[in-house]
Amino acid sequence: MKNIAIIGAGITGITTAYQLLERGYNVSVFDKNRYAAMETSFANGGQLSACNAEVWNSWSTIGKGIQWMLKKDAPLLFSPKMNFHKARWLISFMSNIPNHKKNTILTAKMAIESRDEFKRILNKENIKLDLEEKGILHLCDNEISLIHGRKVNKWLNEAGLSRKEVSIDEMISIEPSLNLKNFVGGFYTDSDMSGDIHKFTMLLAQACMNKGVTFYYETEVKKINHDKKQPIISFTQSDNKHKQNYDAIVICAGVNSKFLANDLGDNVNIYPVKGYSITLLLEDRDSVDHAPYVSLLDDKAKIVSSRLGKNRFRVAGTAEFNGYNKDIRADRINPLIKWCNELFPKVSTEHAIPWAGLRPMTPSMVPRVGSGKLPGIYYNTGHGHLGWTLSAFTSQQISDHILRQDNFEH
Ligand SMILES: Cc1cc2nc3c(=O)[nH]c(=O)nc-3n(C[C@H](O)[C@H](O)[C@H](O)COP(=O)(O)OP(=O)(O)OC[C@H]3O[C@@H](n4cnc5c(N)ncnc54)[C@H](O)[C@@H]3O)c2cc1C
């Protein structure tokens, strides 16, 4: 096996291209956009967060989804409009509730593995991405949230992660700029990090290009056929149709992976879970001085924040189950601005750049990493709320898997 095509130039596709290149393959990357990282890997929450490994499969999530169905600014918004895909995904999500603990531990282990690999790539390629290594602080606003956090702590400890409970005084010493009047305590993971996913993906794509990866940008893969031995990609470029054979393909197409997998007889059940972010441009002295450097996770609001260098502050969150549209709704952006005004009153929200993206979510919340049914078909997709955190590891996993199969065949 020599020539491998990757569909998708988001964080999963570019890290996979890098790993396969390191293993000696000729790699081509296809993306319908003009540049890498223009879809979900564009402006996410920025957290490299093993501490946020808890999967959402619980009755409490279902209860909140029902309770908040008509509340437009709720952290979790479940549109009651139903179709076959959504219904099937939901049933499978509920059937994974018994795996809540197991999948949380599994995800935390993957996230821990991912850190070392991420650091290795950063150092090898000398990538600068506004990385902050100041940990992640969870904010809890009531005793129930603390009790839940203590339970999850035990699972994270089992996975090998140290996340310690902290008092309000300790939280203030960790991040002095915080206004904590509405909180009762929290948890701190000093080994977690944050950084700009878009910068990283763009720069790694550039490094891949310099080392010989071929990029087909502005090229949409329309269909993948298979001649029983090899995949054949049909794609359009500047309205011209082309076909090309590859020894193997890796599907890293985010929320579109499901449709490409359908062509190949594989069931890749991914639902688009929409989220929003704002990026604040810190232009005045007060904003620069009072925006936090420690990355935050507000348990109740389901909002995360990351400082991206001296002059940018990213606030992201909310989960919306409402199909594939990427409209930016004011009633979903406003809670992010309000959160910022309340917690950081000295930080100006005058210049907030809004964004919406679709998390490619599997019902178990564990990414799909492995082979398809047909020879030469592979997946590294479905990373949901943790694609930035997990990709360094899953790209390694899929590339080692391909190499092992390749060596076995020869
Ligand atoms: C609001 C929000 C906040 C988040 N915060 C965090 C966070 O703090 N930490 C974290 O770890 N994760 C976070 N995530 C999740 C993370 O951003 C995603 O898991 C990750 O970006 C998904 O990457 P991907 O490569 O799978 O998909 P994408 O980045 O969407 O890449 C898929 C690519 O495939 C291309 N493509 C698809 N179909 C085709 C086709 N047919 N032909 C050609 N190209 C195609 C697309 O153009 C796209 O570029 C957040 C997500 C959101 C929405």
Confidence of residue 14 (pLDDT cuts 50, 70, 90): very high
Report the nearest-CA residue for atom 20 of ligand 1: 387
Is the CA virtual torsion 320, 372, 381, 134 positive or negative? positive
Using CA atoms, how far apart are residues 95 and 365, in angstroms rounded to an integer?
12
Pick the CATH number of 51-192+271-361 from 3.30.9.10, 3.40.50.300, 3.30.390.30, 3.30.70.3270: 3.30.9.10
Query: Tell me, what's the pLDDT at 407?
Result: 83
Please check the confidence at residue 1 and state whether its pLDDT lies above 70: no
Domain 3-9+14-38+202-268+367-409 class in CATH: alpha beta
Per residue in 209-226, pLDDT (tens digit) is 999 999 999 999 999 999
Give which of 283, 327, 351, 337 is closest to 305, Cα–Cα: 337
Upper half-sphere CA count for residue 242 (Cβ side, 13 Å): 13
CA-CA-CA-CA torsion sign (34, 39, 45, 50):
negative
- At position 299, the amino acid (one-letter code) is D
Share of the chain above pLDDT 90, in %: 91
The pLDDT tens digits for 61-112 are 998 888 888 788 888 888 888 999 999 999 999 999 999 999 999 999 999 9
**Residue ranges of domains in the chain:** 3-9+14-38+202-268+367-409, 51-192+271-361
What is the SS3 assignment for 273? strand
- Quick check: do 3-9+14-38+202-268+367-409 and 51-192+271-361 share a fold? no
Within 13 Å of residue 261, how many CA atoms lie on the same side as its CB? Answer: 25
Q: Ligand 1 mean position to 44 CA, how many Å?
A: 9
Contacts of 279 (CB under 8 A, 6+ apart): 43, 308, 312, 313, 314, 352, 353, 355
* CA 210 and chain centroid, separation: 26
Residue 42 Cα, ligand 1 centroid: separation in angstroms? 8
CA distance 295 to 303: 11
Residue 137: HSE in the Cβ half-sphere, 13 Å Cα cutoff: 28
| Contact (CB, 8 A) for 315 and 280 | yes
Does the beta carbon of 387 lie inside 6 Å of ligand 1? yes
Give 250-287 pLDDT, tens digit per residue: 999 999 999 999 999 999 999 999 999 999 999 999 99
CA distance 8 to 144: 41
Can you give the pLDDT at residue 74?
87
Ligand 1 atom nearest the C-alpha of 11 is 25
